[in-house]
Amino acid sequence: MRNYALIVLGLNTVLRISDILLLTWNDVYDFEEKTFKTHVYIKEKKTGKDKKFLLNKNATEGLLKHKRKLGHIIGHCSSHHRIAKYFTPPVKRKISCNYCGFLACS
């Protein structure tokens, strides 16, 4: 699901892969309102320019599928987790966030 979400996001936003890989869940999802943002603001890695882009229905659906697959991991300490980060440990293994130490069982 992660790769699918990244490809759909790239095709629908025309962002460079270097910019997509830097996006965090906090960039695209409003955790207070529990909805995806309609517009995302970034600073392009290559040019340093500020850029605003629309998250259309296809991009939102791709991200939603990925978010559902991650489940309970997203939401506790979401602002620093990149969308591209893998959270696919073997079953019954505890994983922890490198930033905040939050433990989650897969």
Task: Output the pLDDT for position 79.
Answer: 55
Task: Output the pLDDT for position 3.
Answer: 87
Q: Is the pLDDT of residue 91 over 50?
A: no
Instruction: Report yes or no: 43 and 51 within 8 Å, Cβ to Cβ.
Output: yes
Q: Is 0.85 surpassed by the pTM of this model?
A: no
Q: Is the pLDDT of residue 32 over 90?
A: no
Task: Output the pLDDT for position 77.
Answer: 55
Give the whole-number percent of the chain exceeding pLDDT 70: 69
With b for 16 or more beta-carbon neighbours within 10 A and e for fewer, the 70-90 pattern comes to: beebbeeebeebebbeeeeee
Query: What spatial distance separates the first Cα and last Cα of the chain, rounded to whole Å?
Result: 16
Q: Is the pLDDT of residue 94 over 90?
A: no
Task: List, for residues 51-85, the tens digit of each pLDDT value.
Answer: 999 999 999 999 999 888 877 556 555 556 677 76
